[in-house]
Each structure stands twice: as structure tokens, then as C-alpha cells.
Structure 1
Amino acid sequence: MMIFYLIGIVLLTMVFLGVVFLNPIQRRRWLRLWASLAVVLGMALLVIPFDNSSVISGNNHLLILTGGYQKDTVAAYNKSNAVKVSWENLDQSQIDQAAEIHVFGYGLPDTSVWNIPKSTTRFHASPLPTGIASIHWKQEISLGQGLLIQGSVSNPQQQKLQLQLVSGLLVIDQRNLGAQGSNRFEFNPSPKNLGTGNFQLLLLKGKDTLSKNPIPFIVQSPKPISVLLLQDAPSFEQKFLKNWLTDHGYELAARTRISKQIFDQAFSNRASANLLNINAGLLSSFDLLLTDEASLNNLSAMEQYQVRAAIREKGLGLLVTTDTILKHAALLDQALVLKNIQDSSSANRYLKMQGHDSTWHPMINKDAYLMMLPSAKMQTLVSDAKGRVLAGIYLEGMGKIGYSTLGQTHLWSLAGKQWDYDFYWTQLLESVASQTAIKESWTLGSGMDFIHHPVPIVQWKDLAQDSISLVSGSKIYLQQNAIYAFKQEGQFWPQQSGWQNLVTSGGQIKPWYVFDTKDWQLTQWSKNIVQTKTWLANSGDDKKSKTLEPLQPKRQYVPAIWAWLILLLGLAVLWIESKLE
């Protein structure tokens, strides 16, 4: 079809040229020529679909501006081919068209929203202003326990600051931070009343209040757990754990092998007993058996049978720890598969625990560690940055069996990360030692959730339970997890700050606190910086080349209005010129 258009245009051009040059009147010949060519060009543009196709070359630099970006730093990269965009106005097409990406400010609030190629992305973190950069505390404690509030202060100007922990108008405790001193702080108040409560943490400079942030907490009635601890050999890990269990009110009976037939027995917060023979009568007085795998393997066949029977029929909890692949005892049989991992990347030393994230201590498991292969029966309690399971539990009759491959946890305490140590062991012990039959349990939020931001809700339940809950009067429908049959998941977007109530389908009421966007701003910025740096360092997850489709050419047709204007202009000039003759 195109060849006929071209032949027609050529013939029309020849006709107009003939008329122009065969006309005996020489005056204004060049005007008639240009007007004739304009007519031919206008008709050609109307008939032939000329277009301008181009593929975006991707040679521009994309400058992503997040909160706290510094104008001077951005200006150094704001060249002629740079495109500036705020995080709120970013879209995927801008990312796809960028040859190089620069992130400025306090980092990406969420690294999973856009498919950003890590290999071409550079992060220019802004220094944090004065304020509380990190904060940790356990929101749920038993009556008599301390909150153990730990954190650090960003003090770039080396000022003299003061921290005050306040309840109402009463200052409970305070710390002075010198210009040259440590920026770390710790408070350990013990709330006296059951239920929900709030402290306020104030950062002061002289008489000026730099920040005021809430410390919400829940105080529950103490639930003493009776623990039988079996260890194959003395160790620092065992010593720290025994002291921790004693200090936190656990009823502890510990048996440690000294030699082949000699055991050391120790008791705290309970009466002594004979621990040399593990039988049904002894196990009935405990809620949890905590043992390393070597001790479990060394039990006689009859003792292992008694342990299995106590788990299945009496609801005893079993928690097994190991950092070495051993031959499993008979009662673990096929339920557990371990795999040895060689990974020296510091980015993957980031632990994810239910309701809390923690950076690993550098010496924990060094460059090699064990993971558990996930299964439909197992509930994950602790995983690394890549989702590899390090601790989990599964049901066994009326009881639970937990397993952890995370060794040398006492190094948390030695490194000043006592809160991480407390959270890890409390979570493991309370998850396995189920004293009463619970048909459902809930994990709500991340531990620090904010208004107008999505909050994850996870329900662990038996298959007969309904998957509907109420949060602040709003009905939440949960979706079945694709792998775990007993796990339901959903999201909730809180519309108001303060204490909220989750009402479960089983009638449980679970209090939960939502922070305002003005709360803990510096802490969120600090978290974003760490999150962005960790995400960029973990380059193995860069999936851009696998997910993006090749860019398609852009087709831009010549607008018809221009063809008509050229045609009409040429015809008008020819008509006027003919009248002038």
C-alpha cells in the first residue's frame, strides 16, 4: 500500500512542477513553486502515516529524595540529565528509564514497593540530628519484671543532654549524657499495676524539650514456668542461661554431665528432686524440657519413650538446641531436617523474630550456621535476612516440640544487647511451654506500629477456628497461608493512635498500641538508614533483570492539524497568486 502512496505523491509533484514551469508568466514563479510543494507535502502527511519511533536510551540519573535530604549533596549530582523526584511521587517507569539511581536522605521507608536495581543504586545517607536514634523495650511483661528500656542518642553537636523517664507528672528516673560520654542509656523500671500503661521518655537540653515519646506497656499476672534443663557439658552458654532463668522467676531444675556417669544437679525457685532417672513421675512436675541434642540422644530408649509420652499425652513442651548436625533422637525422627549454611555476608546477620528485629552479634555462629528446612507442620520463630529458619516449633499430640540452631546467644549479653537475649529466650520458652490448651494465638504488628500504615496480623490456630477478628470495631478477614495450614494472615490500617483492642473469634481481647506519626521520628529515620544499607549490601536479591520487560519503542504520529495547515496554506497562496494575474 505504501508504494502506491509514494507513486501518487510523485505524480502529483510532477503535475504541480509542470504547471509552475510551463506557465509563460515568469513573475512569482518561485512563490508558485513553494506553494505547490506545500500542497504536495500537506497531502502526503495526510495520506502517509509518518511517525517518530524511539526507544528510551536510559542515560539519565534519577535522584530519589527521602526525608532529611541535604540540598548541597543533591546539588552535586543534579546535572543536566538528572531527574529529581520525591519518594512519595516515585513510579516504576522513572526507575526503569534511569541509568543510575541516587537515594538521598534517611533512606527508603520500604524497599519492597518498587523494583529498584541495586547494582546501579547509590545511597547518600544524611547525618541524624540530635535525638533518640534507637530504642528497645519489651511491651509485655509479668508483674515484678523490669521493662529494661535500652537505646542510644544521636548527639552530633556534642551537647550536654538529659533523659527523663516520666509517669504522669512524676520523674521516675533520669540520665545525664555528657558531651564526651557514651550515648547509650538504659532504664529498668518495674510497673506496679496490672493492665496497660504508659511512660514518657523526654530528651532535654537545659530547659528545652527536644523530644517526648511514649513508652507503652502491658503488665500481666506472672505465669511461673517449671523448666527441666539437661546439658551434656558445662559451658558459658549454659551458665548464662541458668542465671537468666533464675533471675526471671522460672522454677529451674538443671542436670549437667560432668563425666560419663557423674552429673551435677542444681535447683532454683523450687524444691530439689532426683534428676538421674528421667521418668513419667519426674516429667509430670515440669512444663518444659530444655535440652541440647547430645543430652537428648544420650537418654535411654525407655527415657525417650517417657519423654515422647509426656509430650503427646500430658502437653509437656520440649525445646532442643544445637549448633552441630547430629543423629536425631528417635522422638524427633523425620520431623526435622537440618542444612549447613556457609554465609559470611554481614547483611544476612539480621535476625527476624516475631515482633522484633535484631542485628546479630558478629561472633554468633561465625561464618557457618545451621538452618531448618521449613515444613507445613512448623511455625517459624526466628529467621535470618533471607528467611532461612533458625528456630521453630511444631505440634506433637497435646504438646509442642521446639528446635533452635542459634548458638552462643550469651554473646548478646556480653555485647550489651541484653534486650535481644531476653526477647529471644522469652519467645522460645513461652512458645513451647504451653501450660493450657490454646486453640489460637495471635501476632499483631511489629512492636512499633504507626497510624495510617499497614499492620500485619497473623493467627495461629487449629483448622476448626474461624478466621475473623475485630480491631477497634473493624472486622478483619484473614487469608489462608499457602504453606502452613494453621497460619492465617491479614493487614489492618489503624486510623487512630493510642491503645487498640483486638477481639479474636475465640473471645480473647488483646491490647495493642498504635503510635502517632510524630512519635519516635528519629528512631524511624535511623531504622530506614540501616534498612536501606542492609538491602543494598544484600546484592544477591537483585531481581531486576529477571522481572522487567524490554522497553518498547515510543510511537508519536505527526498531528493531522499540521498537515491541514500546510495544505491549506499552499492552496491559499496559489489561489491569491492566480487572482493577482
Structure 2
Amino acid sequence: MISNLTFLNASWFWPVVICWLILLLFFVWKEWSQAGKKRFVLKIFLIILAISSLAFITLKPAIYKKVREGNVLILTEDFKQDQLDSLKKVYRKIKIVDYRNDEILPEFKTSKQIFVLGRGISDFDLYQFEDLPVTYLPGDTLAGIVKLNYNHESRVGNSLRVQGRFLKPKSGSQLILEDAGGTGMDSLVFTSEEKENFNLQTELKVSGNYVFNITEKDSLGEVLSRNTLPIRIAKEEALRVLILNSYPTFEIKYLKNFLAESGHELVVKNRITAGRFKFEFFNTENTRLGSLNEKKLEDFDLLISDAGALRNLSSSETSALQNSIRETGLGLFMLEEANTLNSLVDFSVFELERVSGTETEIDNLPEVSIAKQPFKLKEAVGLEEIHNSNSGILSGYKRLGQGRVGTTLLENTWQLQLEGRQEAYQQIWSQLVEQISKRTSVAASWEARTDFAFKDQAFEFQLRTSVENPRVRDENEHLIPIKQDLNNSELWTGKTYPQNTGWQKLKIEQDSTSVFKYFVYKAEDWQALQSYRTSQQNKRFFQQEIVEEKSVKMPIEINPLWFLGIFLISMGGLWLEPKL
């Protein structure tokens, strides 16, 4: 019984006990002159009862009791009316909560069974349903774009490729990619009302922050829907790349052609036999490279090498390469079989895990099958992914001082060109080269951790900076709290709730040049995509094993009228005692 007893005002326990003791001592002292007389013990007993009753009224004692209330039905956007009607017939006394209007959810821990109808619960509220008996019944799926993939950041000269899936299109309607001025850049016509994948693209010619649009029009040209596509376009920068090749491969052959055609300055050092090399130069002057040293490596942004070439480096060349990566930010990309990656003692920074399958689809390249090695990069502290798939991380890098060391488990990507899928090939290698090459020297680098930022909803970001104790402010000069990573003193994360739509910015107070711009959507933007993502997230979350309908112990307050009655009886006894 005592183990089930608690106090709702437990934080007041000791102050109340002290007051109780003071009052008790005062009244005992007051009555002490009558000690030994008739009914003295009775009066002390009544005093203790009266003071204790007041103490209990203040502390609000409660007893843990097993409680299990009725069923709850939660309505969210796009719920099915027939599902609602059926549940109301089966559970006539079911409690209905309208999540569309209620900003704060009630307590559900004592609910017997919970039904969620419609789009589902927002991700920031799902934690309230952990380990609860919940049944999720998805609602009507909205027609429109339910999957979307495109690079939010790109460079002048690159292509903007927008890929996705459109659900329930109207036959004959068009999907148009429009530029910032509303001019159609690419389009397609839906030929059926089945779900259809789409791929739209256009060339990026001017740097800046722009808002493209994806517009759906019917066969008569009337606008059915329009969604914004914000993109940050940076100026084109030619990289200086060095390739070390211990033996000729098709992968290197097609890669060097791609880099040269993209305008990068390229030096290729091909090993013919022991001690003999052949040099190739693209978009740069012919210069004899000779042995590698820090001065020569300073001129390059990226070094691409196979395992054999790295093993053939002398100890002084290996030391120079390591120093260049750590000190000047040179990027190293290792293009080799997975089995040999861990044999490179000085550059063995990746952990591998064997998986099944030698073909896959990359997450940002749907329906493009690519050959891969039967391994994945094992998730580890410091590993940053570039390409991912259902089988795991396929391409990634780790930071080494100021530079980056990266690799990929994709193989024979050159076959994509032979199959006429040049765009997929270019996208893969553009991402690899851009992610691993030397960074432009900046005081801070920003990264959005939230795909879509909406007004008054949480937007998470990540900041890397050498600034000590940075202070981040938004466009309204409000200070944004940030948290430092335990393992990396230069890595910070933060969360803000944007109050306006359109392009917004964050900046470091100590460095006015370190500005990060992100786009905030209107609540009505991307409705079909939001609905689909929320529904899929709810399906995954509520796949957890249903908890048995067991009672939950909750503290139930003892009715204070009992203590009030004891107090009144005690005071009445003290009042009557002198009159007896």
C-alpha cells in the first residue's frame, strides 16, 4: 500500500513537513501546562489529526491504480469517411480527436485502443505514440507529385534534372518545368491515368538563387497545380585534377574524357612499366610532373588513383600526399576493388561489409540499374555518404584534416555511356568529383538537414566552422540556439522556426560573410508530396508490434474532502473538550 502512495505536490514535501512540525510543537507547548490532566492525550491526538489533515490537503496524496480508459479515434487530413462511419458503429462511445484543428494532443497512455485515420501524425508528434496500441488506417492519396529528387545546389553549366513520380495524372495533361520567369524549359504529356515517373531537365546558365516551378496543366492549357523548385546556382569553377593510373582501364578512359569535356584541367600519369610513365594533358600546358612533393600537389584540387599507383609511391611521396590532404585540403579519390582498399595502410580509412547482389539502383537515380561490388561502406563516425541505395552506402568520404578521402563501390560506370545513359553517368561523377575535391577556403559551411522548410515548422541545419563559440542569427536578428557535436568541436547543429516564406537566411554573428540561404515553402505547397511522405512515415512507425491491452498504473488523487472532514471533526473535538 505504501509503495503505491505518492504525492502530486511532492516538490512541497519538505517545506510542508517543516511547517507541520513547527505547528505541532507550538500547540503541544501551548497545551503543556495541562499535562497529566484528564483528556490531555486526547487533545494532543486531535491536534495531530487537524495539522496532518491540512498537510495532506496541501500535498495531495494519490494512490497508483490500474487504469484503462476507452477507445480513441484521431482524425487527420484526407481521412476516409466510410472508415470513420464504420468505427463509430462498432465503438459507439469512442472518443474522437480532430488532429486537423487541435494544436496539442491529449494524453493517450491510458487509452485502450487508438485509431489514426487519414494522412497521419506529423513526425514531431509521433513520439507521443511510442509503445501504445495504435491502428493506422491510411486515407485517400492525393493526386500529384509524391516523389521528388533534384539537386538543390548546382553550378553554371550543369543541368538541372528533376525526377519523380506523379500519382493519378489526368490523361492528356502536361507537366512543365518553368524557369524563374515562367518560361517552359521542358515538358511531358501524360498518356494514361496510372502513376508515372517523370524526368525533366534544363541547362543552368546564370548563377544566383532562383525559384523554378513544376506546373501541371490540362489539355486546354489551364493551370491545375504549381509547385516551386528553389535552387542555388554557383559560378562554374574548373578544377585541376591529377590521375595516377597503374594500368589502363575503361573506367579511367571514360572518366578522363568526361572531366576534360567538362572543362577541368587534367594531368594523367599512366604507368607503362616499372619506372616508366606516359603523361597526358587536357586543358593545361604539358609539364613534366616527376616525383610528387607538396609544392607540386599544391596546384591540384583532386587526386584520383587506383590502389596500385598508391602502393608504388615512395615513402617521401606518400608523406607529401598525406600532408597535402591534411594541410591544403587536397581531395583523394581511390578507385579500386573493395578487397584492396584496406591493404592501403596509409589510406585505409573505410570499413567494408559484404552484402548480396552486384546490381543496384541509387536513391537519386531511380530506375537506373548500376553495377556494384558485393560490399557496402559500413556506417562509422566521420563517414559522409555520397551515393546510397537499399543495400547501404555505396560512395562516401571521410575528412582527413582539411581534405577528404573518398571511394565508391560502383563499378563499370562507363557502361552507362555505351547504353546511352550519359546523364546518369555525368550525375554520378559530378557528385563524386564535387564532394571530394578541395574546398574553397571559407570560414563556415552550412548544410540543410530538413528537405522542405515550411513556415512555423522546424527547420534543422548543420554548421561547420572554425569560429570559436559561433552565434547564429536569422534574418530578423533572432539568436538561434545551436549544439556542439561531442566528437567534432567544429560541428554544430541547430533548429529554427521560420516566420516568413521565400528565401530566408542564417548568418554567423562573428563573421558577416558566412551567410546561408534556404527556401521556406507555403503551407499549401507540395500537398501531395507532404501527404505521401507523412503517410509512409506513419506506416513505418506504426508497424511496431501492437502492445497488448494491459492496464496502466496512474496516480489517482485521494478525495481531499476526506481530509477536510477529519480536520473539521478534530477542530470540533477541540472546541467541545473544555465544555464537557
TM-score by length of 2: 0.68
Structure 1 residue 487: deviation in Å? Answer: 0.6
In 1: Cα distance, 2:128 partner to 2:286 partner: 60
> CA offsets, 1:200-230, max 9 Å, x none?
2210123432111122223322111122234
Partner of 1:65: 75
Which residue identity does 2:175 align to in structure 1? Answer: L
Which letter maps to 1:140? E
CA contact (8 A) 1:231 1:255 kept: yes
Which residue of 205, 208, 214 maps to 2:228? Answer: 214
SS at match of 1:484: coil
The residue number in structure 2 matching 1:532 is 538
CA contact under 8 A between 2:241 and 2:266: conserved in structure 1? yes
Structure 1 residue 428 displacement after superposition: 4.9
Q: CA deviation at 1:279?
A: 5.1
Alignment match of 2:504 (pick from 500, 503, 519) = 500
CA contact (8 A) 1:102 1:122 kept: yes
Amino acid at match of 2:117: F
More displaced 10-residue stretch of structure 1: 511-520 or 96-105: 96-105
Residue 471 of structure 1 and its aligned partner are, at CA, apart by: 3.3
Q: Secondary structure at the match of 2:445?
A: strand
Structure 1 pair 115/293, CA: closer, same or farther in 2 (3 Å)?
Answer: farther
Kept in 2: contact 1:452–1:494 (CA 8 A): yes
Please tell me the residue identity of whatever aligns with 1:212: R
| 1:477 Cα deviation after fit | 3.7
Q: Contact between 2:133 and 2:547, CA under 8 Å: does it hold in 1?
A: no
Deviations 1:438-491 (A, max 9, x none): 332112353431111111122111253633344343332422122321111211
Deviations 1:345-389 (A, max 9, x none): xxxx997xxxxx8989887768852315316xx767778999999
- Identity within the alignment, %: 21
**Counterpart check, 1:522 vs 2:528:** yes
Does structure 1 residue 332 correspond to structure 2 residue 347? yes
C-alpha distance after superposition, 1:286-305 (max 9, x if no partner)? 21113355543343434323
User: Partners in 2 of 1:242 and 1:124 — Cα distance?
Assistant: 53
State the SS of the aligned residue for 1:523: helix
Which residue number in structure 2 is paired with residue 374 of structure 1? Answer: 381
Residue of structure 2 in register with 1:55 after alignment: 66
Alignment correspondent of 2:217: 204
* Superposed CA offset, 1:45-64 (max 9, x none): x9xx9x99852347x65544
Q: For 1:400, which of 395, 398, 403 is the aligned residue?
A: 403
1:109-128 to structure 2, matched below 5 A, reads 109-110=122-123, 113-117=126-130, 121-128=134-141
Q: Which moved more, 1:122-131 or 1:452-461?
A: 122-131
Give SS of 2:456's match.
Answer: coil
Tell me the amino acid that sits aligned with residue 160 of structure 1.
G
Retained in 2: the 8 A contact 1:140–1:217?
yes
**Is 1:299 the equivalent of 2:305?**
no
Deviation at 1:434, TM superposition (A): 2.8
The alignment of Structure 1 onto Structure 2 pairs a total of residues equal to 493
1:114 counterpart SS class = helix
Distance in 1 of aligned mates of 2:532 and 2:328: 47
| Contact kept in structure 2, 1:253 and 1:268, CA below 8 Å | yes
Kept in 1: contact 2:371–2:413 (CA 8 A): no
Query: Residues 142 and 472 of structure 1: is their aligned pair in 2 closer, same or farther, counting only changes over 3 Å?
Result: farther
Contact 2:394 2:409 in 1 (8 A): no
Q: Helix, strand or coil for the counterpart of 1:494?
A: coil
Comparing 454-463 and 443-452, the one that deviates more:
443-452
Structure 1 residue matching 2:450: 3-state secondary structure: coil
**Distance change (3 Å), C-alpha of 1:367 and 1:387:** closer
How far apart in 2 are the matches of 1:233 and 1:489? 44
Q: Which runs of 5+ in 1 are unaligned?
A: 1-45, 352-356, 565-581
User: 1:249, CA displacement in angstroms?
Assistant: 3.7
Q: Which AA in structure 2 matches 1:164?
A: I
Q: What is the SS of the residue equivalent to 1:173?
A: strand
Distance in 2 separating the partners of 1:413 and 1:124: 42
Give the match for residue 552 of structure 1.
Answer: 553
The answer as to whether partners of 1:477 and 1:490 remain within 8 angstroms in 2 is: yes
Q: Is the 8 A contact 1:106 1:125 kept in 2?
A: yes
Summarize deviations over 1:53-84 as a string: whole Å, max 9, x none: 852347x6554433222122344445317554
- Could you tell me how far apart the structure 2 residues matched to 1:412 and 1:152 are? 26
